[in-house]
């Protein structure tokens, strides 16, 4: 059980144009905590600073100031050299994040060995098979290369790879935005199942308010580097307080969110409350999130 504490996080970039230099504050005084068994969505328009937060958590960028600490169950901060055993990323692009020259087995074996989870060919292969099963992929995919898999299958491999070190905190940066819609909801449902099974702490970064509401417990809304609103997912989406959140919700291509915002309709009760739609831009149609299961398109899609 690991908690991730983000405190007073700031990131500034220096931009050069000819001889001129300017400072861009991409992230400004961001604070939040990820706790086991809970998903927090970080939402905001393009350029609001979401990926910069993710990249700092993944240690791909150094914060200008502030701290990011993984904290163990006994309350002590996890040492830097063990940070990646606990905190792992799933990136947006499953095509770029897997090496085309290596087999699926290699992608899973490497973190298993590097993080001391398995040794010896047999044990590694056995654990890699188990990881594939956990993400609802057939073990026969083990010897294939990434280009022989669909986008959804590749993202499942990326999730299995994130689990391989035994990570307890997963940061998923737009994990489904490059997938077709059938794979998209299956992959989000898979993340939700793994989160429940392993008591993971998850940061789900997205610009899609409908899936943020459906797949998270609470939502942080980011605008121009700052968290401008935070709270339980339903409250933030259905009764947004900050004008920026209201604008995001009003612009969402989702009749349920937009309709609720513009009308004084009472909140729906339990069952219907979980019935959400999201818009598939490529297919040009509405999709029922509740109809998706985590094994959807796992094999074919
Ligand atoms: N390496 C960098 N150098 C300079 N500016 C950067 C760098 N990385 C990000 N930025 C700037 O920081 C701001 C926040 O970018 P970021 O990618 O974090 O936003 P985002 O909310 O994740 O957007 P998107 O959803 O489009 O990925 C943007 O203005 C971006 O241009």
Report the CATH number that the domain containing residue 224 is assigned in CATH: 3.40.50.300
Domain count, the chain: 1
Residue 74 is assigned to a structural domain of this protein = yes
Residue 296 is assigned to a structural domain of this protein = no
Percent of the chain with pLDDT over 70: 84
Q: Whose CA is nearest to atom 4 of ligand 1?
A: 13
Range of the domain at 90: 3-291
Mutate to test the pocket of ligand 1, among 48, 173, 222 (most ligand atoms within 8 A of CB): 48
Residue 297 is assigned to a structural domain of this protein = no
Taking all residues of the chain, what is their mean pLDDT, rounded to a whole number? Answer: 85
Is 206's C-beta closer than 6 angstroms to any atom of ligand 1?
A: no
- The model's pLDDT over 97-125, given as tens digits with 9 standing for 90+, comes to 889 899 999 999 999 999 989 888 899 99
Residue 207 is assigned to a structural domain of this protein = yes
Residue 21 is assigned to a structural domain of this protein = yes
Is 11's C-beta closer than 6 angstroms to any atom of ligand 1?
A: no
Q: Whose CA is nearest to atom 8 of ligand 1?
A: 52
Residue 298 is assigned to a structural domain of this protein = no
CB-based contacts of 213, cutoff 8 Å, min separation 6 = 41, 219, 233, 234, 236, 237, 257, 276
87: Cα separation from own chain's centroid: 12
Residue 220 near residue 29, CB atoms below 8 Å: no
Residue 301 is assigned to a structural domain of this protein = no
First to last CA, the chain: 32
With bands split at pLDDT 50, 70 and 90, how would you rate the model's confidence at 93?
Answer: confident
Residue 24 is assigned to a structural domain of this protein = yes
Give this prediction's pTM.
Answer: 0.85
């Amino acid at each position: 059980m690991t908690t991730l504490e983000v405190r007073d996080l700031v990131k500034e970039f220096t931009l050069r144009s000819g001889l001129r230099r300017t400072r861009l504050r991409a992230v400004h005084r961001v604070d939040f905590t990820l706790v086991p068994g809970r998903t927090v969505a970080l939402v905001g328009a393009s350029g609001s600073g979401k990926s910069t937060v993710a990249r700092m958590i993944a240690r791909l960028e150094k914060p200008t100031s502030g701290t990011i600490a993984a904290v163990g169950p006994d309350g002590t901060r996890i040492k830097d050299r063990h940070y990646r055993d606990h905190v792992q990323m799933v990136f947006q692009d499953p095509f770029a994040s897997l090496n085309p020259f290596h087999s699926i087995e290699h992608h899973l074996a490497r973190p298993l060995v590097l993080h001391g989870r398995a040794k010896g060919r047999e044990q590694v292969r056995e654990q890699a098979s188990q990881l594939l099963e956990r993400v609802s992929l057939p073990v026969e995919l083990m010897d294939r290369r990434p280009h022989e898999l669909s986008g959804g299958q590749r993202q499942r491999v990326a999730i299995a790879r994130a689990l391989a070190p035994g990570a307890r905190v997963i940061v998923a940066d737009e994990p489904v935005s490059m997938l077709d819609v059938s794979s998209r909801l299956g992959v989000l449902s898979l993340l939700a199942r793994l989160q429940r099974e392993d008591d993971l702490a998850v940061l789900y970064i997205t610009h899609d308010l409908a899936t943020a509401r459906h797949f998270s417990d609470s939502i942080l809304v980011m605008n121009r580097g700052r968290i401008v609103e935070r709270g339980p997912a339903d409250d933030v989406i259905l009764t947004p307080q900050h004008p920026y959140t209201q604008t995001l919700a009003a612009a969402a291509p989702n009749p349920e969110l937009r309709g609720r915002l513009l009308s004084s309709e009472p909140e729906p009760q339990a069952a219907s409350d979980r019935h959400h739609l999201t818009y598939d831009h490529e297919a040009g149609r509405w999709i029922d999130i509740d109809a998706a299961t985590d094994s959807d398109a796992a094999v074919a899609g």
